């Protein structure tokens, strides 16, 4: 009863707009105080903050965020859409395909769905509307393409899952490669299908010569090399994810410096943005640990595992219910909040049924990201509507075909776990 009361209290705070980290800390503190008194509470609070943020693996989070800030500062992110548009703009729905490709590229450097959606909204939507694209199609493809940022490595969400679940972060990051490619392909195929149904919704763009196409790559080659290097050293076992994040940040700094854009206070601003984002994530982790202590002491997780086992449901039914919960939560919360709230509870249930935690981590990310483009509070949809200055309903309607396509992809990932586990199983 106490656990249920505290969970309700937590969600009321979240609904009231209290930041996730503080809401978790307050709810956990209240639960610990009610369960074990002030002595128990003071003992946990005196050590939690230090023990939480002193993990070696956590260094990779500010480093990858800093890498993203430096790459964005270099201006490469602005070139992604233009280069993709040159290569595929002549194809029916080409600018939509270019949006998906640039979303994948931006995802490899940002790690933030909302940041990716905002950037793509400012570049892709005006170009598509100017060419005569149907507004709902344009907004929908931008909203879904932004979700790639949390799946394609280096992914902050996968790093956090690895820390919370205590599994290999390197294998998680590599496990996101094939699903990331499949998600990108799913978006592309959905755009092609929508254009095939109604060609007037996406007119052909201009054609370009091979020389012009090759020339367009000059603005993005550095990012491709950086992404390949960071992912490659992890896959080959040359460096740990933490070491790779530091190498990536150093490489991104060099790219930004060579671009000539690191003038004035831009370096300081980029570093400050990385610091703010890292501090937010660390506060969420501290709050999650306090809340997790309460769950552990009240025995919620073992009781849940035993309860699910007693129901004698088919494993796929349990997985379907979990995915449905993740999609619903994704409508209201960002991925980081979803992970810290659900992984400690859901992962033991999934492992008890014999599923691999690396596979589950990737499926969690894909399912949660679908929730970010579905009503009533799909965060990416709101971001696209705001930055593109389009009606929110237009974004939601345009995103629905992509939601349905993603459910099909999730079913494929559930039926074929090797799509996720194949690359990690071959790491050196």
pLDDT tens digits, one per residue of 371-396: 888 877 677 888 888 877 888 888 88
Q: Determine the Cα–Cα distance for residues 415 and 73; give it in Å rounded to an integer.
A: 41
The yes-or-no verdict on residue 297 having pLDDT over 90 is no
The yes-or-no verdict on residue 80 having pLDDT over 90 is no
DSSP state string for 126-168 = HHHHHTT--HHHHHHHHHHHHGGGGTSSS-HHHHHHHHHHT--
The yes-or-no verdict on residue 108 having pLDDT over 80 is no
b/e map 40-63, b = 16+ CB within 10 Å:
ebeebbeebbeebbeeebbbbbbb
pLDDT the model gives residue 111: 64
The yes-or-no verdict on residue 421 having pLDDT over 90 is yes
pLDDT tens digits, one per residue of 144-153: 888 887 788 7
Cα 261 to chain centroid, rounded:
28
The yes-or-no verdict on residue 264 having pLDDT over 70 is no
Q: Which residue would you say has higher pLDDT here, 109 or 313?
A: 313
pLDDT tens digits, one per residue of 314-340: 888 888 888 888 887 777 676 777 888
The yes-or-no verdict on residue 343 having pLDDT over 90 is no
Average pLDDT over residues 167-180: 90
Q: Which residue would you say has higher pLDDT here, 410 or 93?
A: 410
Q: What percent of the chain has pLDDT over 70?
A: 94
Question: Closest Cα to residue 398, out of 240, 198, 235, 174?
Answer: 198
What value does the mean pLDDT of the chain take? 83
pLDDT the model gives residue 149: 77
The confidence band for 402, taking pLDDT boundaries of 50, 70 and 90, is: very high
- What is the pTM (predicted TM-score) of this model? 0.83
Q: Which has the minimum average pLDDT: 52-61, 114-123, 301-310, 361-370? A: 301-310
Question: Closest Cα to residue 274, out of 118, 59, 27?
Answer: 59
pLDDT the model gives residue 289: 81
The yes-or-no verdict on residue 177 having pLDDT over 70 is yes
């Amino acid at each position: 009863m106490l656990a249920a009361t505290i969970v309700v209290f937590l969600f009321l705070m979240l609904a009231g707009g209290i930041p996730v980290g503080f809401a978790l800390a307050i709810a956990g503190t209240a639960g610990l105080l009610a369960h074990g008194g002030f002595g128990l509470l003071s003992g946990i609070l005196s050590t939690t903050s230090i023990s939480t943020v002193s993990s070696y693996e956590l260094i990779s989070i500010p480093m990858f965020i800093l890498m993203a800030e430096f790459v964005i500062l270099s201006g490469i992110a602005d070139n992604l859409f233009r280069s993709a548009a040159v290569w595929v703009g002549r194809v029916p729905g080409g600018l939509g395909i270019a949006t998906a490709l640039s979303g994948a590229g931006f995802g490899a450097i940002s790690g933030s769905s909302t940041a990716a959606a905002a950037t793509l909204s400012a570049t892709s939507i005006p170009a598509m509307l100017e060419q005569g694209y149907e507004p709902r199609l344009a907004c929908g493809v931008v909203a879904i393409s932004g979700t790639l940022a949390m799946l394609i490595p280096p992914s902050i969400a996968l790093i956090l899952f690895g820390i919370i679940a205590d599994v290999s972060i390197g294998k998680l990051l590599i496990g996101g490669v094939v699903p990331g490619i499949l998600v990108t392909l799913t978006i592309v195929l959905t755009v092609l299908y929508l254009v095939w149904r109604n060609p007037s919704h996406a007119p052909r763009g201009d054609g370009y010569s091979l020389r012009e196409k090759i020339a367009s790559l000059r603005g993005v080659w550095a990012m491709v090399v950086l992404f390949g290097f960071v992912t490659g050293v992890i896959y080959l076992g040359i460096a740990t994810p933490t070491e790779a994040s530091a190498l990536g940040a150093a490489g991104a700094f060099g790219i930004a410096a060579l671009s000539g854009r690191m003038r004035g206070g831009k370096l300081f601003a980029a570093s400050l943005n990385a610091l703010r984002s890292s501090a937010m994530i660390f506060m969420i982790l501290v709050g999650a640990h306090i809340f997790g202590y309460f769950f552990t002491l009240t025995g919620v997780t073992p009781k849940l595992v035993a309860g699910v086992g007693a129901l004698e449901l088919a494993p796929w039914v349990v997985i379907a219910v979990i995915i449905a919960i993740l999609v619903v939560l994704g409508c209201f919360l960002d991925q980081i909040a979803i992970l810290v709230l659900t992984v400690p509870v859901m992962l033991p249930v999934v492992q008890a049924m014999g599923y691999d935690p690396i596979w589950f981590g990737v499926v969690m990310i894909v399912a949660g990201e679908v929730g970010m483009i579905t009503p009533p509070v799909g965060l990416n949809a709101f971001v696209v509507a705001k930055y593109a200055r389009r009606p929110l309903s237009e974004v939601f309607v345009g995103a629905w075909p992509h939601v349905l396509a993603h459910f099909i992809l999730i079913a494929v990932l559930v039926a074929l776990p090797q799509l996720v586990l194949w690359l990690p199983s071959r790491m050196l």
